[in-house]
Structure 1
Amino acid sequence: MGKHLQWGGILDSLIIPISHRLRKISYLRAIRDTFCLLMPVIIVLTLLHMIGFLLCNPNGPLLGADGLGLGSLLTGGLHDQAYRESAFFAECNRLKNYLEVTNILASLLFALVLTLKLAALWQGEKILALICTVSSYLFLITAFPGNAHELTLYFSVRGFFLALLISTFSTLLFSYLSRLPRLQLTVIPGLPKEMAVTLRFLLPLTFTLLASLMAALSWMSIEESALSLPAVLANVMGENIPQSPVAAVCYEFVRRFLWWLGLNGNSLTCFWNEAFYIPAQLANELNGGHFVFTAEFFDATSVSLLGLAISIWVFASQEKLRKLSSYCFPTLLAAINEPFLFALPIVLNPLLLIPYLLAPMLNVYVGYLAIHWDIVPLFRYTVESCAPVFLQGWLATGDVMGAVLQLVWLSLDIVIYTPFVIIFNLLTQDDDWLEEVNAHEA
């Protein structure tokens, strides 16, 4: 990373060499490039989802009776059952559910772009690889047992995981099969080029589609059964261990470390979340549970990157870093962290690994103490993941102290990140660090 990084210790002896090796893995680079290419689209789709949550949700913070109650005002004073039976309520619900399709769309677009990257990497025919990926998605959606609303919720949790799984499986299988000479058909001379390519790889395409169909049916069968990973985890672990502060901190560590690798940590840890923290959330909301660590608790900790943005904006010596921080500030307030992760970049950046892991882990423990000492209420209410920072904490706890907790977290995160930002200033005063980190290593 440059001559100024030779400052010894664990960073120089361990983290930087590992980061160098990881940056040379072409598969991780393909995933990172896909995120970067789709970043504007991801922002737009997330904002559309946020509009559905804030403006179109008849039970949401603006229209619902537990929020500002604008829905009752717009329907001429209708309340309770009369409001829920109104045409206004039904139309808002329809629009909200319609905008939830962004969950599936974001996952599909990611899989398609990643398929193109992987097809180029593994020397597969790009158009036919795309056909395999799209077909796999359709097989999976068709095999899904629930309704359209349940399907969008399913993709909101597993979207990235499914995109990674489907695009990798279908592209790798097709690319491997298409390189086998015995599976390549002899093409009749004189056919159009496009038809000749399809006929040549007809058998690899057929086998890949059949394998994708069987994989989709098998996956959905497992998801519905007691053999699903969340069910197995819940039976083996019970509920006490995941509710311990040590387990919660470890969960947050894994989630953030996956993001540092350039992988969607929320989606890849969804099975643990579904086994323990989503049921805890539902128990708090519906059955008067008293669980500290819930799905909404961990969603609230996403405020940590906002602390880094503020620290960079105040203390960074490079003007380009301050501008980048200010550009990403609105998206971070809207709980959209991906632009900052990949643009700064934080992904595979050894200089930011320690504070990036330390800040959210400390947030988890501080949040545990605040709830354990009854300073902050439990996270009892389910809130859309696209809810803005501070509003999310307020709504999830039903109390302004939830927002105060996020503000405390933010203050701690600024304190944690600031020394590292100052170190950046010392290490990069003669180097164009941002360009160096962003450059692909051979």
Structure 2
Amino acid sequence: MGGHNEQDYRQRSGLLEDVIIPLSRRLRQIAYLKAIRESFFLMMPVIILLTLIHMTGYLLCNPTGPLLGEDWLGLGSVLTGGLHDQAYRESSFFAFWNHIREYLEVTNILNSLLFAMVLTVKLADLWQVNKYLALICTVAAYLFIITAFSGNDHELALYFAGRSFFLALLIATFSTLMFSRLSRLKFLQLPVLPELPHEMALSLKLLLPLSCTLLASLLTAFGWISVESSLLSLPAILAHTINESIAQSPAMAIGYELLRRLLWWLGLNGNSLTYFWNEAFYIPAQIANEISGGKFIFTAEFFDAASISLLGLAISVWVFASRQRLRRLSAYCFPIMLLSINEPFLFALPIVLNPMFLVPYLLAPMLNVLVGWLAIHWGIVPLFRYTVESTAPVLLQGWLATGDIMGAVLQLVWLSLDIVIYTPFVIIFNLLTKEEDRTEEAYPHET
């Protein structure tokens, strides 16, 4: 029996040392992925601030939200002198606070635009092109998309909410790469007078590459929005070709969660990059549960509520980590992680490209999905029927989304399970790094 255990350990050790660690090292050397990670580092305070502003809009300023809504605390009805139902929705009070909420939703667009600008600067340095002209190309591409969008401001904000990182990645990469390639073509460079100021001479010299990039961005933006609003859009194609019963199967739901977490481990926003699948199946399921009495277990709110697994790691690190630095980091990130803002901990510990935490980081959310499916399938927890902002506090989110205290209990069970899963790996991490120098104590930081 002992021989089998030793053999299993060697096999696991071989997988870690022979496959996962070398792979993470190679991925860490990819300059493009490094530029994305560094953009996240620089954007972290902005991400936190904009997320908190957006959460404030949902929790405090939403006339149908937890504070003012009739289905929750109902302060809106109290403040309007007892108005209810249609009379409340037609009141000036409702219109005012609904306008404020929609106004704060501009944070979705700002988050995407600012991240794209930071990434553009990083890519401009990487591809050795003028960063200011590259920024002009990126910002112009955003303006073209906003102009081409046919919906109202609220619909535009919702559009960017799901695709924020995807659009930032797409626009910044496309515009900067194209401009860098065109600006190297000698026949596109205009002759300029040597008497001109340096910056003016440079911008005039690259006038044709800049113009071509802007024109391409314009055409691409209008083409992209046209496809997005048609039956050729990726969500429409997915919904048409794949039966919803397949998307509602536990195996597919676990696979969807696995892909999301694997993308995050690579340093990419898994929520945004898998949003097309979410929009094709889980958002319609959420709407059906809320409006037409659907019976879907896997919905957009289910996966939002299940995304607390990283909080389990933070607690495990705070309790079991031997390094004071990691314990302080966990305590520092804990308050914002309660609001489901996980990026600071994800990149600071880090989880990204960390071979030691890859297995539990993938395993914990997958088990959350399985446990959640069983709990709802057996009738222990109600369906996720109500749309709740993803940054709503943990436990409150599960309660509001199901309309029942058992939703909060399910999140508590998920959190407990995640702590159990992560703790052995935190202890192993302590053992493997205890002899390392302080400057090298977090192995994943090496470049």
Q: TM-score, normalised by structure 2?
A: 0.96
The answer to whether 1:44 aligns with 2:49 is: yes
Alpha carbons 1:345, 1:437 under 8 Å: kept: no
Identify unmatched segments of 5+ residues in structure 1: none
Matched residue, 1:282 = 287
Matched residue, 1:437 = 443
Matched residue, 2:376 = 371
Secondary structure of 2:296's aligned partner: coil
Quote how far apart the aligned CAs of 1:174 are.
0.1
Quote how far apart the aligned CAs of 1:382 are.
1.2
CA distance in 1 between counterparts of 2:201 and 2:441 reads 44
% of aligned pairs identical?
A: 72
Write out aligned runs for 1:133-172 (5 A). Answer: 133-172=138-177
- Structure 2: which amino acid aligns with 1:150? E
Render the CA deviation track for 1:257-279: whole Å, top value 9, x for unaligned: 00000000000001111111111
Render the CA deviation track for 1:40-93: whole Å, top value 9, x for unaligned: 110000000011011100110111111111112222222222222222211111
Quote how far apart the aligned CAs of 1:192 are.
1.7
Matched residue, 2:311 = 306
CA distance in 2 between counterparts of 1:157 and 1:439 reads 30
The answer to whether 1:262 aligns with 2:236 is: no
Secondary structure of 2:410's aligned partner: helix
Q: TM-score, normalised by structure 1?
A: 0.97
CA distance in 2 between counterparts of 1:437 and 1:264 reads 23
The answer to whether 1:14 aligns with 2:19 is: yes
Residues 440/30 of structure 1: CA separation in 2 closer, same or farther (3 Å cut): farther
Matched residue, 1:272 = 277
Quote how far apart the aligned CAs of 1:188 are.
1.3
Alpha carbons 2:354, 2:444 under 8 Å: kept: no
Identify unmatched segments of 5+ residues in structure 2: 1-9
Secondary structure of 1:327's aligned partner: helix
Secondary structure of 2:83's aligned partner: coil
Alpha carbons 1:184, 1:200 under 8 Å: kept: yes
The answer to whether 1:190 aligns with 2:168 is: no
Matched residue, 1:322 = 327
- Structure 2: which amino acid aligns with 1:319? Q
Residues 167/398 of structure 1: CA separation in 2 closer, same or farther (3 Å cut): same
Match of 2:393 among 388, 391, 398: 388
Matched residue, 1:199 = 204
Alpha carbons 2:286, 2:384 under 8 Å: kept: yes
The answer to whether 1:415 aligns with 2:420 is: yes
CA distance in 2 between counterparts of 1:49 and 1:143 reads 25
Quote how far apart the aligned CAs of 1:193 are.
1.6
CA distance in 1 between counterparts of 2:181 and 2:443 reads 33
Matched residue, 1:95 = 100
- Structure 2: which amino acid aligns with 1:162? L
186-195 vs 32-41, greater mean Cα deviation? 186-195
Match of 1:24 among 12, 21, 29: 29
Render the CA deviation track for 1:334-387: whole Å, top value 9, x for unaligned: 110101100110000000100000000000000000000000011111112221
Higher RCO, 1 vs 2 (CA within 8 Å, ≥6 residues apart): 1
Quote how far apart the aligned CAs of 1:112 are.
0.2
Secondary structure of 2:245's aligned partner: coil
Q: Which runs of 4+ in 1 moved over 6 A?
A: none
Alpha carbons 1:57, 1:64 under 8 Å: kept: yes
CA distance in 1 between counterparts of 2:321 and 2:194 reads 64
The answer to whether 1:229 aligns with 2:234 is: yes
Quote how far apart the aligned CAs of 1:240 are.
1.1
Match of 1:405 among 375, 396, 410: 410
Matched residue, 1:252 = 257
CA RMSD of the aligned region, Å? Answer: 1.4
Render the CA deviation track for 1:141-170: whole Å, top value 9, x for unaligned: 000010000000000000100000000000
